Structure 1
């Protein structure tokens, strides 16, 4: 027969082990989420850089003239 105090300690230990296991799983999920978000941030950063390279340099100098953007058939 085990001592009641020992049973209480074993139950508490088992509860802590379960919590630790769930915490490890959650940490793994969070790490994966952070990794995926960083991959997306890196991809979006590359796309922004590419888009900036495509913008004509004079576009950043001031307001556009809408007449310059009228298609030739007008």
Structure 2
């Protein structure tokens, strides 16, 4: 009977460890998702700012490979 009780304690210990690991992984996943959402919002804001700057930049329609007039 002692062997069955030892096995039961071992199984309960493993389950408790796994439950703790799952909780820690879930917490980390939640924090990562929050960070991804925050970074996505920052990227959207930066893309809008770049678009606004491109629209108002002087000479934005000039080709990038055109030589300056002093050549």
In which range does the TM-score fall when normalised by the shorter chain? 0.7 to 0.9
Q: TM-score with structure 2 length normalisation?
A: 0.79
Residues in 1 aligned to 2:60 and 2:30: alpha-carbon distance in whole angstroms: 48
Partner of 1:17: 19
Ranges in structure 2 where 5+ consecutive residues have no aligned partner: none
Q: TM-score with structure 1 length normalisation?
A: 0.76
Greater relative contact order (Cα < 8 A, sep 6+): 2
Residues in 1 aligned to 2:13 and 2:60: alpha-carbon distance in whole angstroms: 72
Residues in 2 aligned to 1:57 and 1:29: alpha-carbon distance in whole angstroms: 44
Aligned residues: 66
How many Å apart are 1:54 and its aligned residue?
A: 0.7
How well do the aligned residues superpose, as a CA RMSD in angstroms? 2.3
Partner of 1:72: none
What are the superposed Cα offsets for residues 19-53 of structure 1, whole Å, 9 maximum, x if unpaired?
A: 00000000000000000000000000000000001
Deviates most, 56-65 or 16-25: 56-65
